[in-house]
Structures are given as structure tokens and as C-alpha cells.
Structure 1
């Protein structure tokens, strides 16, 4: 579903090029889940942007659903994002002028894959029943994040990318949202890549990689203490 082959990425600074990714290899199969851990500034968000085709590598190859992203022009990458990807961020990025129901349906409509029964199931399981006419500002932080997750999963994307999806929530709410995210991803049949600094978030996923000094190492064998 997602593959990085010897991916390199650097950014220009006044002091010279800053290498962020230095020969990254990773693979994520359809329906599997993967946590990418690393400290702030380690390049996790850069890797996520490359996975989504929002940026391109300096060298190496990123393949999404079997397609090399660097061979696609931006309109084609945008179309592939609509068709294959769901995105969940630490900041909720809900549309303030749309109510809960319309925010939830937005991504599915853009992808041309709105399913009324699945949307109704999402509303119920996300704990948003009875709130469909409310606007984002009328929701709690946990409700807003659940809505953001529902919006991303409404079109049943092949791959869900999540950047610190519980980073703005208290511990109890974060645990509830993470459990719900994993259950819904499974039921949608999506693969999942979560970028996080938290062992608590990484622990329930199938595999864990750690990004350090621009390279990834398998961290699945480490003891990930969720406490």
C-alpha cells in the first residue's frame, strides 16, 4: 500500500543543507497498521508529507497504491489523495462553516464514494448522534477529533495517515479516541500509518519504526511502555 525506497530529503538553511531523511526504507501492507516514532524535529512530519504526496523526495522513491508519486503531476497526486488517502492531524482542520453532518460527509463526497449506511454507522460509533446540526465550535475537543477521524474514514480510504492524532487530548479521552480509531480503521479495511512520539499510542499497532538521524529502525521488539 505504501513503500519508501531509499528516500532522501534535505532542506536549505543559511548554514547549508539540512538532511532530514537519509535513505529511508519502509513498507506498509494493505490493512496493516504501523507506528512511526521519533522525537520532535526528527523528520516524522516530513515523512508523512512525502507519503501523502504533499512534497517529493530529493532522491529515492515513494509509492502509494503501487504508483510512484514522483512520476505524477500535482493534479494527479491530488486526485490520488482524494481517492486513496484519509488524513487526520493533531489540529482538527474541520470546516467551521459546515455542521457535523456536512463535515463528516465532505471527504466522501470529494472522493465520490459517499455511503449513507457507513456514514450513519460512523455517527453512532463516534458518539455524535444528536449532534449532526452542531458546528465544530460547539463541540468538545474529543468530539472534534472523533469527527475528524470520521471524516477521514467516511470514503473508506485505502490508507489513513495520522499525525499525532491524540496529541491535543487528555489521557483518558486520548485512549478512548485511539481505541475508536483502531476499531474503525479495521472495519473500513484501511491501512494505518500513525506518526507519534508516544509509546502509549504506538503500543497497540501491528509494528513500530523509530526515526533517528534520518533513518528508520525497527522498534517493534522494544518494550513500548504505554504508561
Structure 2
């Protein structure tokens, strides 16, 4: 579903190139969940943007659902995002002029895969039932977060990319939203790549990798420690 093959990425600075990713290899299969951890500024969001085709690698290749991102022009990458990906970013990017119901089904309508029964199911599971006619500004931060997750899952994407999807929530709410997110991802049949700084958030996922100095490494010691808790 997602492959990084020797991906490099650097950004120009007054002090010279800032290397962010250096020879990244990554494989994520259909229906698999992967947590990506790392310190602030380690390149986690850059990797996620490359996976979404929002940025391009300097070298190497990113493949999404069999499509080489670098071989696609921007309109083709936009279609790939619409048809294949679900995106959940730290900024919710809800449409303020649309109510909850229309925000929830927006991505599915754009992808031509709207299923009213699935949208209703998502609203109920996400605690948004009865709030369909409200607008984003009338929702709490937690409700906006859940709406953003529901919008991303409404078209049943092959791959869900999530950047700190519980980062704006308190610990108790974050645990509830994470559990629900993983249940809905399984119901949708999606693969999941999630960026997080929290070991507690990473634990329930199938695999966890750490991004350090531009390279990926497995968190074997962390996995062993987590399994004992």
C-alpha cells in the first residue's frame, strides 16, 4: 500500500542544506497499522507529506497503491489523494461554512463513494449524532477532532495518514478517540500510518518505528517494554 525506497529529503537554509530524511526504506501493507515516533523536528511530518504527495523527495521513490508519486503531476497526485487517501492533520481543516453532516461526507462525495449508511454509522460511533446541523465553530475541540477523523474515513480510504490525531485532547479523551479510531480503521479496511510522540498512543498499533537523524529504526526495546505493561 505504501513504499519508500531510499528516500532522501533536504531543505535549503542560510547555513546550507538541512538533511531531514536520509535513505528511508518503509513498507506498509494493506490493513496494517504503523506508528511513527520521533523528536520534534525529526522529519515525521515531512515523511507524512511525502506519503500524501504533498511534497516530493529529492531522491528515491515513494509509491502509494502502486503509483510512483514522482511520476505524477500535481493534478494526478490530487486525484490519488482524493481516491486513495484519508488525511487527518493536527489542524482540522474543517470547512466553516458547512455543517457537521456536510463536513463528514465531503471527502466521500468528492471521491464518488458516499454511502449514507456508513456516514450515519460514523456519526453515531464518533458521538456526533444529533449534532449534524451544527457548524464547526459550535463544536468543542474534541468534537472537531472526531469530525476530522470521520471525514477522512467516510470514503473508506485504502490508506489513512494521521498526524498526531489525538494531540489536541486530554489523556482520557485521547485514549477513547484512539481506540475508536483503530476500530473504525479496521471496519473501513484501511492501512494506517500515524505520527505520534506518545508511546501510549503507539502501543496498540501493529508496528512502531522511530525516526532519528533522518533514518528509521525499529523500537524493539520499546516494544518489549510495552508488552510487559
Alignment of 1:144 with 2:144, yes or no, is yes
- For residues 50-61 of structure 1, what are the structure 2 equivalents within 5 Å? 50-61=50-61
Counterpart in 1 of 2:130? 130
Does the CA contact (< 8 Å) of 1:50 and 1:57 recur in 2? yes
**TM-score, normalised with respect to structure 2:** 0.97
Structure 1 distance, partners of 2:222, 2:25, is 19
User: Cα offset for 1:222?
Assistant: 1.9
The Cα shift of 1:82 comes to: 0.1
Partners of 1:24 and 1:129 in 2: CA distance: 42
For 2:177 and 2:93, locate their aligned partners in 1 and report how far apart those are by CA, in whole Å: 17
**Number of aligned residue pairs:** 227
Q: 2:69 aligns to what? A: 69
Deviations 1:97-144 (A, max 9, x none): 110000001000111100011011111111111100001111111111
Confirm or deny: 8 A CA contact 1:207 1:220 kept in the other structure: no
Aligned alpha-carbon RMSD (Å): 1.3
Equivalent-residue separation in structure 2 for 1:156 and 1:60 (angstroms): 29
Which whole-Å CA distance do the structure 1 matches of 2:222 and 2:125 have between them?
A: 33
How do 1:1-227 residues align onto structure 2 when only pairs under 5 Å count?
A: 1-223=1-223
Q: How far 1:221 sits from its partner (Å)? A: 4.6
* CA deviation map 1:169-212 (0-9, x unaligned): 11111111101100000000000000111101100000000000
2:155 counterpart SS class: coil
